[in-house]
Amino acid sequence: MSKCRNCRIEILDNTDRCPLCHGVLEKSAVPESMYPDLRSPARKLALACRIYLFCAIVLESLLVLINLVLEHQFLWCVIPGLGLLYVFLLLYYAVLGQSGYQAKAFVLTLMAVLMAVAADFSTGYRGWSVDYVLPLGIIFIDVSVFVLMLVNRRNWQSYLIWVLFMILCSLIPAGLYLKGLEHNACFAFLPLSLSVYLFLGCMIIGGRRARLELKRRFHF
């Protein structure tokens, strides 16, 4: 941006002469940005995540070394390592990620369940991860879907595909119970019941909007 001292006007065009008096223009100061720079905080947070990852790797390496020197049978170093990894995933995916709230809730819950299973196996596998953590994780996702439907009431039918997906996921604890790998019948079938009731509620109460959403998704 340039300024004419004689005409006292600012010229937006990229020129050295004033279009009115043809005098030499003076370069004015660069105007400040009208919008806040959102990239700078994101870059700082990404740098903080990378620094945390490096520190977590160093700390976990020390814990592994201490575990191997002091104790050979019980791998307790796996538990703090899983905690450090989950904090990194929470920062990197939940804060810096561009996915929707429901996708973030599903991925982070899935990671928590898998880490609980890994911790269970590292301590001798007592079955608490499959009996309790897995069903509670599915119930948590069902509740989060219901809450998002209430918050986003104008577009609640967009979450219907998640309800159907959670019905499929809730078949896992029920199948494990039938195979004898899960020992708590209540926790095995509670997620399936909750998912089915949530789907029926959407179809009955939602009516035409729910049917149109299924038609749009599955083309029938």
Kindly report the number of other CB atoms within 10 A of residue 176's CB atom. 17
For residue 126, the one-letter residue type is R
Q: Which percentage of the chain shows pLDDT scores above 90?
A: 34
The reported pLDDT for the residue numbered 39 is 58
The predicted-structure confidence for 125-183, as pLDDT tens digits, reads as follows 888 999 999 999 999 999 999 999 999 888 888 899 999 999 999 999 999 999 988 88
The pLDDT score that the predictor gives to residue 90 is 83
Within the chain, where are the H helices? 39-70, 78-89, 101-122, 128, 134-151, 160-178, 185-206, 208-218
Q: What is the pLDDT of residue 199?
A: 94
At residue 37, the pLDDT reads 52
pLDDT higher at 46 or 194: 194
Could you tell me if 130 and 175 are in contact, meaning their C-beta atoms sit under 8 angstroms apart? no
Please give the structure tokens belonging to residue 120.
Answer: 């269970």
Q: How far apart are CA 13 and CA 30, in angstroms?
A: 14
